[in-house]
Amino acid sequence: MLNNIFRTDQDQRPIGIFDSGLGGLTVLNDLAQSFPNQHFIYLGDLANLPYGNKSKDNIIKCSLSCANFLKEKNVKGIVIACNTASSYAYEQIKNSLSIPIFDVIRPCAESVSKSNLKKIAIIGTEKTIESNVYYNIIKSLNEKIQIYNVACPLFVPLVEEGLESSSIAYSIIDMYLKNLKKLNVDGLVLGCTHYPILLDALKKYFNNSISVFKSGQALADKFSITSRKINKTNNNSVQIKYYVTDLPGRFIKYGNKFSFQTIKDVQLVKL
């Protein structure tokens, strides 16, 4: 059973998680808080950030390198904590590695399709939106939902620069989402793992009147029986190792702003 890797205490091997940068930490937060008995290894591929405007071939190549790195660390399963990589590389990773692989799109699309919402918007990187993976899965499960797709390419650099609460963030949100606001959508799918870092700004922009779906939360909810939350103060019992392919200092500086656990040691690796 796939979900055993999150629930079992017998297999003490870590769960591997990767993203192009900081965004996957939002998925790690959700998973580590739902499954505090598990150990995790996080890899941020900062040397290749951003994935969201790369070619399909390059996204697959980078994603496979990350997955292979984690496999060599003897993880018991891998979470692709990146919607862009989930859109293009999920099948390839699943077919080339003989361990359980989880993407962040399917659980989120399933949870959207089960909601009572009528008109939703999916926001994501240029390549995630172009792939139409969210749209196709949601429509295949619930053809009545009306869906709008909006690519927001500047959201990732905003987050990676630590500007999520700045006035620039609000201007950029308005630039991308003003048409959506006029359409009165009732649900917003954060189709990029960096976007939960903009959650407060996004909620405020929609006057707190919109249901928001986060891909990491949807994955954690899918595999947890009850949602267990641990506080930022007593979190250091969850064992997490951090690796990046570039700029460890930057990862610590910005990652610590929203990581549920204090990030101290980050190892630089070449893939």
What is the set of active-site residues? 82, 192
Distance of closest approach, residue 48 Cβ to ligand DGL, in angstroms: 8
Q: Does 247 bind ligand DGL (CB under 6 A)?
A: no
Q: Does 192 bind ligand DGL (CB under 6 A)?
A: yes
CA pair distance 140, 172, nearest whole angstrom: 32
Beta bridge pairs of residue 41: 16, 241
CA pair distance 136, 172, nearest whole angstrom: 27
Per-residue burial over 27-51, b if 16 or more Cβ lie within 10 Å, else e, is bbbbbbbbbeebbbbbbbbbbbbbb
Binding mask 22-41 for ligand DGL (x = CB under 6 A): -x------------------
How many residues interact with ligand DGL (rule CB under 6 A)?
Answer: 17
Nearer to ligand DGL, 50 or 100 (CB): 50
In 115-207, the DSSP E strands lie at 119-124, 146-151, 187-191
Q: Does 14 bind ligand DGL (CB under 6 A)?
A: no
Beta bridge pairs of residue 122: 149, 189
Q: Does 66 bind ligand DGL (CB under 6 A)?
A: no
| The binder of ligand DGL chosen from 83, 113, 131, 261 (CB under 6 A) | 83
Which residues contribute to the site for ligand DGL (CB under 6 A)? 19-21, 23, 49-52, 82-84, 125, 128, 156, 192-194
